[in-house]
Structure 1
Amino acid sequence: MSDSGLAALSLIESSKRLAAYTAVDQHVKPEHTIIGIGSGSTVVYVVERIVQQGVEANKKRVFIPTGFQSKQLIVEAGLNLGDVDEYPTIDVTIDGADEVDKNLNCIKGGGACHLREKVLAEAAKTFIVVADFRKNGESLGTNWAPGVPIEVVPFAYARVLRQLKETFGSPNATLRMAVKKAGPVVTDNGNFVIDAPFDTEKFQDSAKLLAQIKLLTGVVEVGLFCGMAKAAYFGNQDGTVTIRREDGTTTQVNA
């Protein structure tokens, strides 16, 4: 990679870190004791900033992971690990996203953790998204090519796949296959994942699409997070951060 390419990469990483730091500074307050930690490259900086808040601040806190990666981040940082079974109400959950639209609806599940991610998002009083500029768009289905991740029980996957193709208008829906293992991806819950691409028109009412897919027998969870995020923080190519809030306002943070 050229020096200019390395410099650009460094700038993007700096903006992702600034986005994560700003999200933590604005939403993880001293009174917050139960915190959900999501997955993705930007969340590494979320944990880093939380650790910087100090031992005393974190001594009384419990951190709930959405999956293996976030669990490892919590443990390696020396933070208190908990589970949503013990703490069904969370003060704030910060997570990544695969795509976010202008209304803060999200596609999540690129890492096949969207069932647990949605549980932690719904359990949180405040759900915050942190990502890079590539995830920021006007409409879902624009930047995230693989489509909507759908967790499905193995027994029903063939039938659900056929329904998605023939009834829901996703002819390119596919069963997600493992990269370095023969066979399909298996979630932490023992299920399969179908990736279903849709035209942007389908996302004009993402909540309706979510409800319709969720009603299919065998579907466990759908990677559409609608009307849940309070704000989204995006690290930009130029090192700045764009903050979009649920009320429609947008602000910029300079590098």
Structure 2
Amino acid sequence: MPTDKAKESAAIAAVDEHINANVHIIGIGSGSTIVPAVKKIAEMVKKDKLDLICVPTSLQARELILSNGLKLGSLIEYQELDLAIDGADEVDEQFNCIKGGGGCQTQEKLVAICAKKFIVVADEKKWSKNLGDQWKKGIPIEVLPIAYKITKKEIEKQLGGEVVVREGTEKLGPVLTDQANFILDWKFDSSKVSNWSDINTKLKLIPGVVETGLFINMISKAYFGNSEGKVQVKTNSSISS
């Protein structure tokens, strides 16, 4: 599949550039784009005898690490990571990012802020001029189950748009995060948003909100692959060394 080729190319390019003998503790993200990245990391660890510990962003990432024979760590053990690599739902020209389409945004953000460098890998369709140009499913927001109706009402009151409770596809009822919380998807009008940092702050101040899927200027580099296997690298000059 062309999209699979694009994701694989981006993942391998990022791993080739960033994984080496000087990197010892890394964060491993969630989603389909990370699968080829972890496979490539496992090959390098075996070939070059690297001493590498991997900290997961989700139960899925944990299983991916173990199934590829990599050493598993946790944020309880390690709060300073050399690198974190993850996927993205959309990245804009200011390096603001939407994550959480898979429901892991809270753990993903925890891992990202612990990393000296946070890089993302994706197919080229995930790069946009503005958030919302490509991603139409809304901003994922993790909320306490007891508060979801209150939080939904308050988000719509303060910010407009539509907030929906994310439902499971193969079971009845809301999707549960790894922390047993609910996910609200806020479908926004991108033409009315001028400052995503302000939006993120407003969301986090609403009672019941655990975390948002807005990653504000956290990415140091982003790798976007296309169907031909070519990779475009976007560097955030404001935080990259």
1:20 match: 11
1:189 maps onto 2:193 in alignment: no
**Cα separation, partners in 2 of 1:236 and 1:162, compared to 1, 3 Å:** same
Paired residues for 1:1-255 under 5 Å = 9=1, 11-55=2-46, 57=48, 59-170=50-161, 172-247=162-237
The 1-side partners of 2:33 and 2:46 are apart by 22
Which amino acid is 1:142 matched to? Answer: D
Q: Give the deviation of 1:216 after TM superposition.
A: 0.4
Q: CA RMSD for the aligned pairs?
A: 1.5
Q: Which runs of 5+ in 2 are unaligned?
A: none
Percentage identity across paired residues of the two chains: 42
Return the letter of the residue paired with 2:183. Answer: V
CA 203–95 in structure 1, closer or farther in 2 if over 3 Å, else same: farther
Q: Contact 2:99 / 2:214 at 8 angstroms: preserved in 1? A: yes
Question: Which whole-Å CA distance do the structure 2 matches of 1:57 and 1:35 have between them?
Answer: 16
| Structure 1 ranges of 4+ moved more than 3 A | 56-59
Preserved contact between residue 59 and residue 80 of structure 1 (Cα < 8 Å): no
Describe the shift of the 1:54–1:167 C-alpha distance in structure 2 as closer, same or farther (beyond 3 A): closer
Structure 2 distance, partners of 1:146, 1:108, is: 11
Q: Work out the CA distance in 1 between the residues paired with 2:112 and 2:49.
A: 21
The structural deviation recorded for 1:43 is 0.6
Following superposition, the deviation at residue 242 of structure 1 comes to: 1.1
Shift of the 143–76 alpha-carbon distance from structure 1 to 2, 3 Å rule, reads: same
Change (3 A) 1:176 1:58: farther
What is the count of residue pairs matched by the alignment?
A: 238
Asked whether the equivalents of residues 12 and 239 of structure 1 are also in contact (C-alpha less than 8 Å), the reply is no
Cα distance in 1 between the residues matched to 2:38 and 2:193: 32
Query: Is contact 2:143-2:183 (8 Å) kept?
Result: yes
Distance 2:232 2:187 in 1: 27
Contact 2:142 2:181 in 1 (8 A): yes
TM-score, normalised via structure 2 length: 0.94
